[in-house]
Chain A
Amino acid sequence: GDSVTQMEGPVTLSEEAFLTINCTYTATGYPSLFWYVQYPGEGLQLLLKATKADDKGSNKGFEATYRKETTSFHLEKGSVQVSDSAVYFCALTDIFGNEKLTFGTGTRLTIIP
């Protein structure tokens, strides 16, 4: 079945550092790929998405490119802020009529000033 493998955490960075959180996937169909973020005590917020190969999703300075050849969707940000501290989840859905999201295990990110 479909699966998502995500970089183990926790990750601690200094403010203004460069961030990469690795995500690779296994899917039999044509998945859409997502990054969701969860702040303490809250639900999941959609951060960005990509629906086909070579698409780049971006939002709030975060970017991720759908790489079919390496089955990857790594999350990057050039300069992180303390407010980026949260748990980040990589996820996929099968594009054809199946709303089920398959999630990675999540990566806890802490940014220190």
Chain B
Amino acid sequence: KAGVTQTPRYLIKTRGQQVTLSCSPISGHRSVSWYQQTPGQGLQFLFEYFSETQRNKGNFPGRFSGRQFSNSRSEMNVSTLELGDSALYLCASSSTGLAGLTGTQYFGPGTRLTVL
């Protein structure tokens, strides 16, 4: 079974621009979560999508948004980029269901975003 894939792997943007990152989950997984990893703040949860609905959200400004498509693929968007948005953005998928016990999250390789 193919793992979680993320595209692109590397991005360089300038301040004020916007960016869209893509994530394809493991086949059959309906939950997709996004995390930001920086040396200073570590790994922080951005949001989780399940069946095209945002089910949970972390403490990030509204410039960070996401969506999920009917095939469970997900995108996250960051508008008006700031230098502090430079980070590794990780996507994870899980086989969790509508209700009940949480699943185990499997991560993709990440997208390295550099904001100049």
Contact = CB atoms under 8 A, between A and B. Distances in A.
Nearest to B31: A99
A43 B104 contact: no
Given A43-B90, A89-B43, A105-B42, A99 B103 contact: yes
Nearest to A32: B102
A43 B33 CA distance: 14
A41 to B, nearest CB: 8
Contacts of A95: 101-102
Given A43-B90, A43-B109, A99-B56, A49 B43 contact: no
Contact of A101 (B6, B45, B108): B45
A81 interface: no
Contacts of B75: none
A42 B4 CA distance: 12
B66 interface: no
Interface in A92-109: 93-106
Nearest to A36: B107
Contacts of B109: 42-43
A98 B56 CA distance: 7
B25 to A, nearest CB: 12
Interface string A34-76: 1010000011111001010000000000000000000000000
B94 interface: yes
Interface string B15-51: 0000000000000000101010000001101001010
Given A46-B106, A96-B101, A97-B100, A103 B90 contact: no
Contacts of B33: 99-101
A12 to B, nearest CB: 19
